[in-house]
Amino acid sequence: MRGFNFNLWFGGFLTLVVVIGALFAPLLTSLDPVYDANLMNAELPPDGEFWFGTDEQGRDIFTRVLYGARISLTVGVVSQIINSVIGLALGISAAYWGGWWDDLVNGLTNVMLAIPSLIFALAIMAILGPGLLSLLIALGLTNWSWTCRIARSSTLSLKGQGYVQAAQTLGYGDIRIMATQLLPNMVGPILVISTLGIGAAVLAEAALSFLGLGIRPPFPSWGSMLTNARELIAIAPWATIFPGLAIFVTVLGFNLLGDGLRDYLDPHMRTREQ
């Protein structure tokens, strides 16, 4: 019997908390994150009414953290989906077809891995302007290299398996083979790298929003909340602590989940083989 997979359960739990918070935000709080701003309530510490306290505009931080989770998760998941699609398409096809296409993809991947991802995202944001959509595109175009590498190496090792050759002799076209024979057999590593990627994307969004390039205030994004809270650190530290904590919990949750999945999928497959 395997030992208790702490990473999987705890990471899963943290992730679930964040997801529930994001999904059920309207049910968990009756306040509006943007408009319920009462200067009379500015900079109040956490109490019975405002669980996380209020910010400089009198907005409930708890509400804003919850709605901010929607932004973060959306950015994290959607950009990772874009990453995965690009990475899988390039990686699998590069290994399968080989030749000049493989050389090209490899070169491109090497270049992408050499560029600091945040700077690359910044450059794209500079062209596209701020906002959620630009954020998704920028992050989606930045972090596909890892997925591409893994997809490529998985394909290289799977390519020689009898069932891939059999599919060719049975009349399957190349695309169909890549989609039905190769892709399903690399789900494990891809899933792991994807959960880690979501965590990275959340951090990237927070950083970009903090720099004023992502989600613009007054819409709640954990990153932009941190920007506003900079001036308040001495008088209202809770305005910094709670968004920061939210980022921490989310990224930790996804990272642990990713590690846990990796462990779960590996020996599980082995024991089933026996």
Partner 1 sequence: MKDSVANPILDIRDLHVHFPVGGQFLSRSKRTLHAVSGVNLALAEGECLSIVGESGCGKSTTALAVMGLQEPTSGEILFEGNSIIGENAPDRMARARIAQMVFQDPYASLNPRQTVYRSLAAPLRLHGTSAKSEIEDRVADILKKVDLRPEHATRFPHEFSGGQRQRIGIARALILDPRILMLDEPVSALDVSVRAQIINLLLDLQEDMSLSFVMISHDLGVVEHMSDRVAVMYFGQIVELGPWNAIFANPTHPYTRKLIATIPDPDTVLHPDRAVAVGKYVAPPAGYRFHPQSVNRPDVYAAPEASQLVEIGPGHVVRCQPD
The pattern of x and - marking residues 151 through 170 that bind partner 1 according to CB under 8 A reads ----------xxx-xxxxxx
Alpha-carbon gap, residue 264 to 272, rounded angstroms: 12
The pattern of x and - marking residues 102 through 141 that bind partner 1 according to CB under 8 A reads ----------------------------------------
Closest CA to 229 of 29, 33, 73, 54: 54
Structure tokens given for 65: 């953290």
Binding of residue 99 to partner 1 (CB under 8 A): no
Can you tell me which of 19, 185, 190, 245 binds partner 1, judged by CB under 8 A?
185
CB of 216 to partner 1, least distance (A): 45
CB of 95 to partner 1, least distance (A): 17
Cβ contacts of residue 85 below 8 Å, gap of 6+? none
Can you tell me which of 80, 181, 209, 255 binds partner 1, judged by CB under 8 A?
181
Alpha-carbon gap, residue 136 to 18, rounded angstroms: 20
Can you tell me which of 16, 126, 180, 268 binds partner 1, judged by CB under 8 A?
180
Cβ contacts of residue 140 below 8 Å, gap of 6+? 78, 79, 81, 82, 83, 86
Can you tell me which of 131, 172, 207, 218 binds partner 1, judged by CB under 8 A?
172
Q: Nearer Cβ to partner 1, position 141 or 190?
A: 190
Binding of residue 171 to partner 1 (CB under 8 A): yes
Q: Nearer Cβ to partner 1, position 181 or 209?
A: 181
Q: Nearer Cβ to partner 1, position 31 or 167?
A: 167
CA distances 198 to 66, 138, 180, 187, 264, Å, are 18, 14, 25, 16, 19
Binding of residue 97 to partner 1 (CB under 8 A): no
208: left (phi over 0), alpha (psi -120 to 50) or beta: alpha
CB of 170 to partner 1, least distance (A): 4
Quick one: how far is CA 217 from the chain centroid? Answer: 22
Binding of residue 272 to partner 1 (CB under 8 A): yes
Tracing tokens 């296409």 back to the chain, one arrives at 101
Q: Nearer Cβ to partner 1, position 3 or 160?
A: 160
CB of 262 to partner 1, least distance (A): 18
> Is the torsion defined by CA of 256, 261, 266, 272 positive or negative?
positive
Cβ contacts of residue 135 below 8 Å, gap of 6+? 75, 79, 125, 205, 208, 214, 215
Alpha-carbon gap, residue 80 to 40, rounded angstroms: 41
CB of 145 to partner 1, least distance (A): 22
Q: Nearer Cβ to partner 1, position 131 or 188?
A: 188
Binding of residue 101 to partner 1 (CB under 8 A): no
Q: Nearer Cβ to partner 1, position 2 or 270?
A: 270
Q: What residue ranges bind partner 1 (CB under 8 A)?
A: 161-163, 165-173, 176, 180-181, 184-185, 272-273
